[in-house]
Structure 1
């Protein structure tokens, strides 16, 4: 009788480093590179509306929930890489692109067509999502996600 693995194991260090990767991409790369445009793109996301408050307690809760969200995202991407047996960078790039299409394409299209947001804001927001999906997939492939490398 075969057993089902509903939540595939992912190396804990991959989850931790994936979480750091997502935050570093946002803070160290995209923020300084695009400045105000990046900040506007982040603020424009409806799911980010909660993070606009300037109060310290809210900021701490926002940062904590963002960190938790990044950890869950890192686990999810690592689990998909493991479940599909993806071992190459090319495969990871394809997987990350599919995750991007599934998770971000509807909001990007809506921002352009329905909400008519400025293109620079949409482009920078889309670039951030590319780092969070394709970049994360490539990084996790580099680091390794399998708890048992002989699986």
Structure 2
């Protein structure tokens, strides 16, 4: 397998997209980090906090989310670049298509099969919409090609 088939994307676009995605996913991860913060305040020593399960959970969520955000950013930037999308309108349409493919099936499963609470589903859908449409628009605005400055 050759890497020449993968489009090159500017590192700054990947960094900006990762930061953007991390911010939008913080909405869902806030309870995990809130529990870690409460545990840090109540811990007697820093060593006690570092060994707590809340800290380990927060670090695991943040680490996996960071790697996933970078991969998602590269994928969206590559699709934008490969399709030749140069307008914000086109980037938003592409983001809507990515949202429909990646998030809507899970939302329907949450509604009809898992019967999750509606507020959870709405927050998840809004976060995913921001993740896809917003990320596409931000990356298109920033520029994803190495030759475009």
Shared fold (TM-score, shorter chain, > 0.5): yes
- Aligned partner of 1:132 in structure 2 is 131
1:79 aligns with 2:83: no
Deviation, 1:74, is 0.4
For residue 148 of structure 2, give the secondary structure of its aligned residue in structure 1: coil
Measured in 2, the distance between the counterparts of 1:63 and 1:73 equals 15
What pairs up with 1:140-151 in 2 under 5 angstroms? 140-149=139-148
TM-score, normalised to structure 1, is 0.76
Cα deviation, 1:46-98, whole Å, max 9, x if unaligned, reads: xxxxxxx9442343232111101000000000000000000111100011011
Structure 1 segments (4+ residues) deviating >4 Å: none
- Aligned partner of 1:69 in structure 2 is 68
Q: Which has the larger radius of gyration?
A: 2
Deviation, 1:5, is 4.2
Measured in 1, the distance between the counterparts of 2:115 and 2:64 equals 29
Equivalent pairs counted in the alignment come to 128
What pairs up with 1:1-150 in 2 under 5 angstroms? 5-27=4-26, 30=27, 39=31, 54-149=53-148
Unaligned stretches of 5+ residues in structure 1: 32-37, 41-52
Cα deviation, 1:95-114, whole Å, max 9, x if unaligned, reads: 10111111111110101111
Measured in 2, the distance between the counterparts of 1:128 and 1:143 equals 21
Unaligned stretches of 5+ residues in structure 2: 33-51
- Aligned partner of 1:46 in structure 2 is none
Deviation larger for 60-69 or 120-129: 60-69
Measured in 2, the distance between the counterparts of 1:58 and 1:127 equals 24
Deviation larger for 10-19 or 141-150: 141-150
Measured in 2, the distance between the counterparts of 1:61 and 1:124 equals 22
- Aligned partner of 2:37 in structure 1 is none
